[in-house]
């Protein structure tokens, strides 16, 4: 892995996990020094992140981690909805029984986490399984561009989740039921049912993301 790729991965992880907060200024020289790199690979990495929408540059002002706001949420979920609706027929055509069983295994592990939530809900692991379920579903389309786009969208969705400070269990249970509906549509090889289940899940997830921002705004806490 070259220095640009290393800088890209370090910065992307920090931005997605909110170790670098939304709106925080990104100084390439300072970042390079902290990583033990020259400035050049950091500048290249920031350009890559800008292409993903995770970094924003303002002329004569500087480079910043992109804010998490309602416009960004709308963009992300509009794009997610488009991708999922486009790939649904292809996924139904491509998916094998074994691949459906693999998705079911992911949901089974998620269900186990929900069942033992009284002893302490492992939300980070649950969200990892959630992300894998969606990523694997899109990969079943074998459409490389859509897969890449969806991976980039997932980073923005993770940033919103990291802003959440309340009890994640109720929405996690709802989301799991929605995943089960998606899986049932796959097992039935029913394109329209799959589209409807994906649309319902995406719109509920969008509403949840908007609720997170509403709570933070009501508390006087900026998204950044």
pLDDT of residue 22: 92
**Chain length of the chain:** 224
Find the helix or strand (DSSP H, E) in which 63 lies.
strand 62-65
Distances (CA, A) of 60 to 27, 52, 57, 183: 13, 21, 9, 50
**Comparing C-alpha atoms, which of 61, 64, 69, 70 is closest to residue 11?**
64
- Identify the domain boundary among 65, 85, 117: 65
pLDDT of residue 114: 95
- Asked if residue 101 and residue 9 are part of one domain, the reply reads no
- Asked if residue 138 and residue 90 are part of one domain, the reply reads yes
- Asked if residue 75 and residue 54 are part of one domain, the reply reads no
How many angstroms separate the CA atoms of 106 and 161, rounded?
Answer: 20
- Identify the domain boundary among 65, 85, 118: 65
**Residue 192 within a domain:** yes
pLDDT of residue 216: 73
Mean pLDDT by runs of 10 across the 224 residues of the chain is 91 94 93 90 95 91 92 93 97 97 98 88 92 96 96 90 82 96 98 98 93 77 56
Cβ–Cβ < 8 Å for 87, 216: no
pLDDT of residue 223: 54
Total domain count, the chain: 2
Domain encompassing residue 212: 70-218
Pairing of strands 62-65, 55-58: antiparallel
- Asked if residue 143 and residue 119 are part of one domain, the reply reads yes
The answer for residues whose C-beta is within 8 angstroms of residue 23's C-beta and 6 or more apart is 64, 65, 67, 222, 223, 224
How many angstroms separate the CA atoms of 138 and 154, rounded?
Answer: 12
- Asked if residue 93 and residue 8 are part of one domain, the reply reads no
CA–CA–CA angle 144, 19, 157 (5° rounding): 40
């Amino acid at each position: 892995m070259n220095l640009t790729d290393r800088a890209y991965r370090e910065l992307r992880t920090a931005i997605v996990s909110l170790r670098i907060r939304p709106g925080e200024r990104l100084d390439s020289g300072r970042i390079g020094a902290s990583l033990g790199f020259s400035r050049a690979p950091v500048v290249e990495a920031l350009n890559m992140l800008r292409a993903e929408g995770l970094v924003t540059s303002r002329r004569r002002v500087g480079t910043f981690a992109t804010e998490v706001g309602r416009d960004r949420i709308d963009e992300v979920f509009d794009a997610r909805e488009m991708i999922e609706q486009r790939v649904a027929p292809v996924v139904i055509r491509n998916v094998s029984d074994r691949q459906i069983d693999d998705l079911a295994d992911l949901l089974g592990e998620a269900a186990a986490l929900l069942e033992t939530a009284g002893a302490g809900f492992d939300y980070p692991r649950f969200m990892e399984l959630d992300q894998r379920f969606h990523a694997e579903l899109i990969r079943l389309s074998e459409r490389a561009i859509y897969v890449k786009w969806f991976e980039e969208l997932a980073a923005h969705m993770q940033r919103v989740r990291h802003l959440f400070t309340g009890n994640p269990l109720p929405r996690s249970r709802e989301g799991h039921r929605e995943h089960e509906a998606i899986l049932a549509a796959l097992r039935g090889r029913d394109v329209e049912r799959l589209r409807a289940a994906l649309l319902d899940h995406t719109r509920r997830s969008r509403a949840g993301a908007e609720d997170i921002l509403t709570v933070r705004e009501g508390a006087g806490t900026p998204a950044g």
